Chain A
């Protein structure tokens, strides 16, 4: 036992020793040791649906954020976006694991992330849109973090203790991510003529999707308050929110952008379906 070497410790924690090192650590359940019980008062179907929706939003967002790696304007921003993506990925893992416990399927996180097709994803359309301009990505992160933060604040008192704990942790993370994005929106909006123009365009593009977000979870008051605060500080114009959703990602009705994103995300897992990670 050579616990000074992480590799050895990890390999020894795995039934197959190091033969399958590339396929993971053996600690695959992110909810390991947490009670799997579901309180009687909780509707299992609703709980599973909520976990799946929030997990899909997080997974797709994490993938888009990871795509900025090697493409961001500065190394620091790449590191920041990758870190933010990791938090989303961590949330997705916890939520998929909880979903598998309550939806009766006993599926693990990989089954949800890697072995479902676009039609089965319940993520909102805004999450899957290509990264586009950096300004668009920052506007999207701001709106998305503000919306998710408001939802998590509400879920932190959910009757299911596992979802409540995931949400309470997520509140802290979303607060940071919202702030990061807000500062970029202010910097670009209040920057040069060119950065202002591109930031306004990014914001316009994102706000067109607010209808879908509010239909999925009505955090209108909280999100619009944040957007007013940020656009005022940035000298940007907050466009009117279109009353009707542009699409229904929550019903599996996605844009053409989700399938290629998933194809890339899922390619290795599908090539090695027996692997554990």
Chain B
């Protein structure tokens, strides 16, 4: 079944290259939302996607993008499935994805908070980490808004170079 394996790998590579609609410098693989690509016995390509946030409006576009790219590459039967478990984490953004974010002036996320034993603690702002400016590297930065143009980003500004920047917040 060498041909099947090769085919599954090819399909995976194609799906991996689909750009994210909201962070187009990243592929779906960079973002960590493409969970799996397999080839069913009947030849159907099954791609699994997970939403970043429950309200992510880009989910339909991601699915359409994956289906379209695979169809274009000659796969007649494509099934794009949603997976919810485990929930997406910014820890799944690849090293390559983080590099691309920084290159585009978007501060990549730090490590996601670890699940706690017992109730999730409420952390008020004074104890939050400093986000280094993706432009000049200074750590003298401040949050201007917890939410940016998309759910996954916050707005920050750098007091050193005085430029605003976006920051992918840990989740």
Contacts and interface: CB of A to CB of B under 8 A. Distances in A.
Interface of A: 1, 3, 6, 9-10, 12-13, 25, 27, 30-34, 76-77, 79-80, 83-91, 93-94, 146, 149-150, 153, 161-162, 164-166, 168-173, 175-176, 178-180, 182-183, 186, 222, 225-226, 229-230, 233
Nearest to A11: B64
Given A168-B85, A180-B146, A10 B55 contact: no
Interface of B: 21, 48, 51, 53-57, 59-61, 63-65, 67-69, 71-72, 79-88, 113, 119-120, 122-125, 144-151, 155, 169, 171
Nearest to A177: B146
Contact of B54 (A90, A179, A183): A90
Contacts of A85: 55
29 contacts: A1-B72, A9-B68, A10-B60, A13-B63, A33-B48, A33-B79, A33-B81, A34-B82, A34-B84, A77-B145, A79-B147, A80-B145, A80-B146, A83-B147, A87-B54, A88-B55, A90-B53, A165-B84, A168-B85, A170-B54, A173-B54, A175-B113, A176-B169, A180-B147, A182-B124, A186-B124, A222-B119, A230-B122, A230-B124
A199 B82 CA distance: 41
B53 A79 contact: no
A10 B61 contact: yes
A79 B68 CA distance: 31
Contact of A225 (B48, B53, B54, B119): B119
Contacts of B124: 179, 182-183, 186, 229-230, 233
Contacts of A162: 84
Contact of A175 (B57, B64, B120): B120
Most buried by B among A13, A89, A91, A229: A13
A170 B88 CA distance: 11
A3 B69 contact: yes
Nearest to A27: B60
B32 to A, nearest CB: 14
A168 B86 contact: yes
Contact of B65 (A6, A76, A171): A6
A92 B130 CA distance: 34
A33 B82 contact: yes
B122 A178 contact: yes
Most buried by A among B67, B88, B145, B155: B145
Nearest to A169: B87
A153 to B, nearest CB: 7
B149 A153 contact: no
A165 B122 CA distance: 22
A25 B21 CA distance: 15
Nearest to A1: B72
B81 A13 contact: no
B64 A6 contact: yes
A90 B147 contact: no
Most buried by A among B64, B80, B113: B64
B84 A25 contact: no
Contact of B67 (A9, A87, A153, A182): A9
Given A6-B61, A83-B55, A225-B119, A176 B171 contact: yes
Contacts of A170: 54
Contact of A169 (B54, B57, B60, B67): B54
Contacts of A93: 54
A9 B61 contact: yes
A180 B113 CA distance: 16
A238 B123 CA distance: 19
A182 B122 contact: yes
A15 to B, nearest CB: 14
Contacts of B88: 169
A232 to B, nearest CB: 10
A87 B151 CA distance: 8
Nearest to A223: B119
Counting from the closest, the 9 A-B pairs by CB-CB distance are: A33-B81, A90-B54, A90-B55, A86-B55, A3-B68, A76-B145, A165-B84, A165-B85, A80-B147
A269 B72 CA distance: 35
